[in-house]
Amino acid sequence: MSENKLSEIKVRTRWGEMDQNGHMRNVAYLDLSANCRMEFFDANGYTLMDFFGAGFGPIVLKDEIEYRAEVRLAEEITITNELAGMNEEGSRFVFRNRFVRADGKLAASVSSLVMFLDLATRKKMAPPEKLLSAILSMNKSDDYTVIK
């Protein structure tokens, strides 16, 4: 099993991520979750160009956001990557990103059902062994489950 080379990122929230209520807007959580996943892939040998060159890429089938506490402008947050589920054939995954404030309080979690798409056939595929190994090296969530 490969060593997990990136399990979290740290960011400072920006003006464009805020909404009219003065806290982080919902789509900012989705954008940062996608960025955190792509940073993980990049750190484990799959840059965007590597995906293009290999003819496949990750796509999100479903996102779920659970909010716990507000995140405000210029707050430091840590976003973690966890593996919350995988199907038996290794073609679909649930990646979870936890948004933790500097005070240690969980602000939100985003669970994303992700699969890999063969760009030529437009069909789902299992990731190559190197990428699958990196995914399997992720910390598993407490509620990890085998998905359908």
The tens digit of pLDDT for each residue in 83-113 reads 999 999 999 999 999 999 999 999 999 999 9
Write down the domain spans for the chain: 8-147
Q: Given pLDDT bands bounded at 50, 70 and 90, which one contains residue 1?
A: very low
Q: What is the largest CA-CA distance in the chain?
A: 47
CATH number of 8-147: 3.10.129.10
pLDDT at 7: 87
Nearest to 104 by CA among 140, 144, 68, 74: 68
The pLDDT of 7-16, averaged and rounded, is 96
Residue 77: its H or E element:
strand 76-87
Q: Is the pLDDT of residue 5 over 80?
A: no
| DSSP H stretches of helix in the chain | 26-43, 48-54, 129-136
Q: Which DSSP symbol is given to 139?
A: P
Instruction: For the chain, give the number of residues.
Output: 148
Written as one letter, the residue type at 135 is I
The tens digit of pLDDT for each residue in 13-26 reads 999 999 999 999 99
pLDDT at 143: 98
pTM (global) more than 0.85: yes
pLDDT at 49: 95
Nearest to 131 by CA among 28, 45, 65, 50: 45
The pLDDT of 118-129, averaged and rounded, is 97
The tens digit of pLDDT for each residue in 49-71 reads 999 999 999 999 999 999 999 99
